[in-house]
Amino acid sequence: MIPLFLGVALVTFAVLSLVGDPFAQMAINPRIKPEDIARLRHAWGFDLPWYLRFFKWFWSMITGNWGVSIFAGGKPVTELVARAIAYTLRFSLASLILAFVVGVPIGIYSALHQYTFFDYFFTFFAFFGMSMPTFWFGFILMMIFGLKLGWLPLGGVMTPGIETAPLFARILDQAKYMVLPVIVLSLFSMGSWMRYARSSMLEVIRQDYVRTARAKGLPERTVIFKHALRNALIPIITLLGLSLPGIISGATITETVFSIPGMGRLTVDAMLSNDYPVAMVCLLLESSLLIVGNLIADLLYAVVDPRIRYS
Amino acid sequence: MEREETLLDVRNLKTYFFTDDGVVKAVDGMSFTIRKGEVLGLVGESGCGKSVASLSIMQLVEPPGKIVEGEIIFKGEDLLKKTPEQMRKIRGSEIAMIFQEPMTSLNPVYTIGNQIMEAILIHQDLSEEEAKKRTIELLRLVGIPEPERRFNQYPHELSGGMRQRVMIAMAMSCNPDLLISDEATTALDVTIQAQILELMKDLQRKTGMAILFITHDLALVAEMAHSVAVAYTGKIVEYGDVYQIFKKPRHPYTYGLLSSVPSLKTEKTKTPLPAIEGMVPNPYKMPSGCHFNPRCPFATERCRKEMPELAEIEPGHLVRCFHPVAVEKEAVS
């Protein structure tokens, strides 16, 4: 895992360095003197080869100094990232939980009632959710609920000036801002959870051991909930572990549509302006979460499936 | 063996599968009886409806399959008239079933102890501890070494033969009156197969349960069964005791099956092994008249037009044929 992390860091840094240095843009500004640009480049280490710069950056990073943003008024990276994560987490966790808690039971129910109206309806619903482009669907929702009906705010994360209001009013206000983005985000993943759960359950209820369970004279609910469900959840739990990095990395498009200052936007903005201290931390956080998510998926797998237990 | 009272009487059972391509009459008017403590061998090729018949008795036929007609009289009561809840109480306690694939018939995520105990707890009024004791007893009964340790093992830690023993232990857990064995030894090595057969015979003698022994292997039937029913395209074509079927097969199909079993003699004479001509008919397009007529060397015009009835040709020996074979067959096994 650690070599993997090192490799990711090195490659990411190398690729970001290929873009050039962030001060090149300043050269076309006649009010900035070339000497100043040279001083800035020296201060940020851009007069060194990229690999030396990488070691300098990496050393300070592992010693706890995550650096400051080149732009954004030189704010510490930790502060920028922490704020963005706080916003992203709120939306991504809410939509992951909503999508999982609604999608998986519906998928399982669909599998048990295959080819009924219910099944067809939610198959349609799942494909609708998965194929709806988020930017388009987001705008449609904003138009209906924000503009036409005026029930919900158009975007952002809270009403300006609400900071002084009592706690309960603040929570209510921010919850209102969450409704539309969470719907857009969860609709997409809800569809895939439904399909995963449905196909996994369909596969399991055709297994011989389910027939054995019935032949034992177990009540149908024991057959389904004890014998079938646990087996059907094995691949789903793995997917849950793999969807973990998505919680932090944020959804750039949805965040842009709803003007949420989350990780998705922070990452993309930092990369576009070549603000490498910010971009590196964002990308490394996401990739380490991917690695950890994989590890968690493997561990969970061993918990639910005795065949995979490591001895 | 002496005639005892009837345990199971399947009468004119019809189980059809309603598929998009048409109706498959997997079981089409099958009738047979099993007396208490009797082992009935149900033999036939793949697709003759023997497995579907057994699943019909358990009422475990999955859609698009459906029992459309018939009676399944078990201990004097028609199982097809029972409510699902009544039927559930019979499954696993009075009628138990073991399946062909021991590798996939056990749930991979629960210990074998858990899976056997479950069957005991659902049908018997026992505490967890008593059920556990009974489970270990059962594991010992079916010849599993170190039953206390095996109790906590998962199916993947056991070999195929051991798993089939676990399946048998599970089936025996509530002392069933009828055990349905659906090709239970087919997937096992020959030596393991012999052990499992021996175990089943032994348990049958000890408990006096009846067994519906489904197989395509005639040698196993000769070994296990008291009576034999030969199935072809969803119908019984010949029925009799082991001696009658193996010594005096009267239906051309049974005769053909027995002739195609290799023996030491056929090898000596160097004649090619006789085989039944043709193929099992397409389930969507059954031949008219007797379903066996396209493959039958004795078929006449009448066989192509009419389906013969299952008729008693000598006491206890029933044949569905207009022209029963009259030759006596030499013992096969």
The Cα A267–Cα B168 span in angstroms is 61
**In chain A, what is the greatest distance between 2 CA atoms, to the nearest angstrom?**
86
Place of tokens 């012999």: B194
CB contact under 8 A, A209 and B106: yes
Model pLDDT, residue A195: 92
Under a CB-based contact definition with an 8 Å cutoff, are residues A129 and A187 in contact? yes
| Residue boundaries of the structural domains of chain B | 6-232, 235-319
Taking an 8 Å cut-off on Cβ atoms, the answer to whether A216 and B109 are in contact is no
| Sheet of strand B95-98, all strands in order from the earlier edge strand to the far edge | B95-98, B178-182, B210-215, B39-43, B227-232, B235-241, B317-319, B311-314
| Separation between Cα atoms, residue A303 and residue B144, nearest integer Å | 27
B96 touches chain A (CB under 8 A): yes
CB distance A181 to A91 below 8 Å: yes
Which of B109, B122, B154 minimises the CB distance to A217?
B122
B112 close to B155: Cβ distance less than 8 angstroms: yes
Does the pLDDT of residue A102 top 90, yes or no? yes
Omega into B63 within 30° of 0, i.e. cis? no
Q: What are the phi and psi torsion angles at B194 (to 5°)? A: -60, -40
User: Chain B partners of A209 at a C-beta cutoff of 8 Å?
Assistant: 104-108
| Burial classification of residue A28, based on how many CB atoms lie within 10 Å of its CB (0-12 exposed, 13-18 middle, 19 or more buried) | exposed
User: Which residues from chain B sit within 8 angstroms of residue A227, using beta carbons?
Assistant: 107, 110
- Report the candidate in B121, B99, B324 with the shortest Cα–Cα distance to residue B214: B99
Domain B6-232: CATH superfamily, name plus number: P-loop containing nucleotide triphosphate hydrolases (3.40.50.300)
Cβ proximity of A52 and A15 under 8 Å: no
Residue pair B169/B139 in contact (Cβ under 8 Å)? The answer is yes
**What ipTM was reported for this prediction?**
0.84
Interface check B58 vs A, CB under 8 A: yes
What predicted TM-score, i.e. pTM, was given to this entire model?
0.80
Check CB contact under 8 Å for A215 and B96. yes
Contact B163, B102 (CB under 8 A): yes
Give the mean pLDDT of A156-181: 82
Interface test mutation site (partner A, options B91, B99, B105, B122, max chain A beta carbons within 10 A): B105
Q: Which amino acid makes up residue B268?
A: K
Work out whether the CA dihedral B110, B114, B119, B123 comes out positive or negative. negative
Could you state, in chain order, the average pLDDT of each consecutive group of 10 residues for chain B (333 residues)? 72 88 85 89 84 89 86 87 89 89 88 91 89 90 88 89 88 89 83 86 88 88 88 87 85 82 63 75 80 82 83 84 72 45
Measure B13 CA to nearest chain A CA, in Å.
20
One-letter identity of residue B246:
F
Chain B interface disruption, residue of A212, A226, A231, A237, most B CBs within 10 A: A212
Taken as a whole, chain B contains a residue count of 333
Residue whose structure tokens are 């070691």? A55
Residues of B whose CB is below 8 A from A226:
110
CATH of domain A89-308: 1.10.3720.10
3-state secondary structure A6-41: HHHHHHHHHHHHHCCCCCHHHHHCCCCCHHHHHHHH
Residue B88 contacts A, CB cutoff 8 Å: yes
List chain A residues with CB under 8 Å of B105. Answer: 208-209, 211-212
For the stretch A42-76, pLDDT in tens is 777 777 788 888 888 888 888 877 777 777 677 88
List all residues 6 or more positions away from B243 whose beta carbon is below 8 Å from its beta carbon: none
Judge: B92–A307 Cβ closer than 8 Å, yes or no.
Answer: no
Per-residue pLDDT band for A103 (boundaries 50, 70, 90) equals very high
Task: Give percent of chain A with pLDDT exceeding 90.
Answer: 16
Q: CB contact, 8 Å: B51 with chain A?
A: no
What residues in B contact A231, CB-CB < 8 Å?
107-109
Are A213 and A120 contacting, i.e. CB atoms less than 8 angstroms apart?
no
Q: What is the SS3 assignment for B232?
A: strand
CA atoms within 13 A on the CB side of B17: 18
Q: By CA distance, what is B171's nearest residue in A?
A: A216
Q: Is B32 helix (H, G, I), strand (E, B) or coil?
A: strand
Work out the pLDDT band at A32, boundaries 50, 70, 90.
confident
Q: Is B46 exposed, middle or buried (0-12, 13-18, 19+ CB in 10 A)?
A: exposed
Percent of chain A topping pLDDT 70? 99
> What's phi and psi for A114, nearest 5 deg?
-60, 140
> Using CA atoms, how far apart are residues B242 and B254, in angstroms rounded to an integer?
12
Peptide bond just before B64 cis, omega within 30 deg? yes
Contacts (Cβ under 8 Å, ≥6 apart) of B97: A215, B54, B58, B91, B171, B179, B180, B181, B182
Every domain range in chain A assigned CATH 1.10.3720.10: 89-308
Alpha carbons A58 and A67: distance in angstroms, whole number: 10
Q: Which residue has the tokens 């025996």?
A: B172
At CA A163, angle to CA A159 and CA A165, rounded to 5? 95
Find the distance separating the first CA and the last CA of chain B, reported in whole Å.
21
Q: What pLDDT score does B328 carry? A: 61
DSSP 8-state assignment for residue A145: I
Minimum distance, in Å, between the CA of residue B242 and any CA atom of chain A: 29
Q: Is residue A270 predicted with pLDDT exceeding 50?
A: yes
Q: Which of A208, A217, A226 has the CB atom closest to B99's CB atom?
A: A208
Q: Is the distance from CB of A123 to CB of A110 less than 8 angstroms?
A: yes
Rounded Cα–Cα distance for residues B223 and A306 (Å): 38
Cross-chain residue pair B154–A307, CB shorter than 8 Å: yes
Total CB pairs under 8 A between chain A and B: 71
Bridge partners, residue B78, by sequence: B73
Q: Is residue B92 less than 8 Å (CB to CB) from chain A?
A: yes
- Dist. CA B51–CA B227, nearest whole Å: 18
| Mean per-residue pLDDT of chain A | 85
Best CA proximity match to A230, nearest among A253, A213, A215, A250: A213
Is B170's Cβ below 8 Å from some Cβ in A?
Answer: yes
DSSP-derived letter for residue B130 is H
Confidence of residue A201 (pLDDT cuts 50, 70, 90): very high
Q: What does each C-alpha distance from A7 to A1, A18, A243, B309 come to in angstroms? A: 10, 17, 22, 79
